[in-house]
Copies of this chain bind each other. A is one copy, B any other.
Amino acid sequence: MQIGLQVGFIGLGQMGSGMARNLMKAGHTVTVFNRTPAKAEALVAEGARRAATVADACRGAAVVTMLAHDAAAEEVVFGAEGLLATLPKGAVHVSASTISVALSERLAAAHAAAGQLYLSAPVFGRPDVAAAGNLFVVAAGATAALDAAQPLLDAMGQKTFVVAQEPSRANLIKLSGNFLIACVIESLGEAMALVGKAGLDKTQYLELLTTTLFGAPVYKNYGRLLAEPGDAPVGFAAPLGLKDIKLALAAAEALEVPLPLASLLRDRFLTLLATGGADQDWSAIGRLAARDSGQP
């Protein structure tokens, strides 16, 4: 029988809250930390322990981080009283954030030097999927790190893909995945601009697409956001979308791989941000094609 672990959880945004909650449901003892403490209230009310500092979340056998960008992850790991300084030797840092390949490489080296384990484990899924425990986890790291983290991954996701021993490979795959999703958004946006301007019903068009060749959830979900905008919640904000495309471009640049679609997506995100879309869901880039065609 699996005995619950003592685990810290840092980063309680839309994604992290659901993930931490699923760790608790699975029987783990979770100590939560968020820079804005108010976001911890709900979980504490449900039984999570409250960490006053990052260090307080680093007393157990594992700590999971789910942060918005490289800068936040750097601060939490390398800052004074951060993970690197306070996590016990042999404990594992499970990094679920979508961070750069370069930072993941730095984390791997730093944790190794500090005698800590490091598992890169970014996830696919929007907040509702995180809440349901149905994330897909892409994991890369040493076997010991993976073994230590497996019960946690099982609690947070429906399936774990172990892709490599080298942690940053998981980040590369995660970034490539978000790039592919953004390509779906852009291509659907262009196709809908076309059929929409011809007077066809976008929802029926989407139905046709998704019951035939494009039956993947990503087409259904983002297609709906494009066909019926307005009441969509912001599951993933536009600036985060730009961030991820930039990280994909940076990783590709380091490998000398030109990605013309990613370049186009980057320009779309900049256009969106520059024209008042910073508060919108990242799928809003898919409406720029319609705008450029003169549609409202």
Given the contacts A172-B195, A187-B179, A215-B216, A274 and B289 also touching, CB distance less than 8 Å: no
Interface residue A194 (Cβ < 8 Å from any Cβ of B): yes
Nearest chain B CB to A287 CB, angstrom units: 13
Once the chains are docked, how many angstroms separate the CA of A163 from the CA of B213? 17
**Cα(A208)–Cα(B236), bound, Å:** 22
Q: In the complex, what residues of B have CB within 8 A of residue A183's CB?
A: 183, 186-187
The segment from A15-23, A34-42, A90-98, A248-256 found at the interface with B is A248-256
Q: Give 28 pairs: A residue, B residue, CB < 8 Å, sorted on A.
A: A124-B212, A136-B212, A159-B211, A161-B208, A172-B194, A173-B195, A173-B200, A176-B194, A180-B188, A180-B209, A180-B213, A180-B214, A183-B183, A190-B260, A197-B255, A197-B256, A197-B257, A213-B216, A213-B217, A215-B215, A256-B294, A257-B274, A258-B293, A259-B289, A260-B289, A263-B267, A267-B292, A270-B292
Residues of A whose CB lies within 8 Å of any CB of B are 124, 136, 138, 159, 161, 163-164, 169, 172-173, 176-177, 179-181, 183-184, 186-188, 190-191, 193-195, 197-198, 200, 204-205, 208-209, 211-219, 248, 251-253, 255-264, 266-268, 270-271, 273-276, 289, 292-294
